[in-house]
Amino acid sequence: MNNLIIAIDGPAGAGKSTIAKIISKELNINYIDTGAMYRAITYKCLKNNIDINNTEEVINMAKDTEIDFRDNNIYLDNEVVNEEIRTVEVSNNVSNVAKIKEVRYLMVDVQRKIGENNSVVLDGRDIGSYVFPNADYKFFLVATPEERGSRRYKELLEKGYEVDLDEIINDIIKRDKIDSNREFAPLVKAEDALEIDTTGKSIEEVVSEVVSKIRR
């Protein structure tokens, strides 16, 4: 049987990773959070005082970096960095790292290798449009910036961060803009992706829309 590839793309806070995780459990296939990879590179830049505008230095560092997914953890050079990559500082810098073409080549290489021999659901920005243009199923999740911002805000509050809702919404809008306008593999809905507006929908409702499409 061929590998099953499911692509879930969309802007920040649309619910991609929540839905992708549930789908991976339901179908018993791997889950790759591709955003976590770009976040890990960004975290390493910040930790090592690498100037994100110094493209050459970022690329050299990325070439010398190992990112793995094991047991629901993300490893950066063999260290678990699940929490470290989710800070507001990483979120506010990641799009400028992710727009570097050579960094993308390195990450996409890892993603395609995983998909070569495994059934996998991946969430990101360019999975259906660039990484796996022949994916078996493609979904594009959207929601209003206000809804996406307040989802992120709630998460950060629960983790004990002091955050401002308007600031979070603005940060998300800024990030979407950079992601959508970058030259190489931008955030875009693949022509053959099914768009689902998750505004006002529960996680269960979205999962059931996705699953019913796959099982049909």
Distance CA 153, CA 163 (A): 7
Cβ at position 179, least distance to ligand CDP in Å: 5
Tell me which residues touch ligand CDP (CB under 6 A).
10, 12-18, 34-36, 38-39, 91, 94-95, 98, 123-127, 151, 155, 175, 179, 198, 201-203, 206
Residue closer to ligand CDP (CB basis): 1 or 165: 165
* 15 has binding-site annotation: yes
* 14 has binding-site annotation: yes
- Residues 93, 138 contacting (CB under 8 angstroms): no
Cβ at position 1, least distance to ligand CDP in Å: 26
Find the angle CA(17)-CA(103)-CA(167) to the nearest 5 degrees.
Answer: 50
Residue closer to ligand CDP (CB basis): 50 or 127: 127
Residue closer to ligand CDP (CB basis): 12 or 62: 12
Cβ at position 41, least distance to ligand CDP in Å: 9
- Per the annotation, where are the binding residues for ATP? 10-18
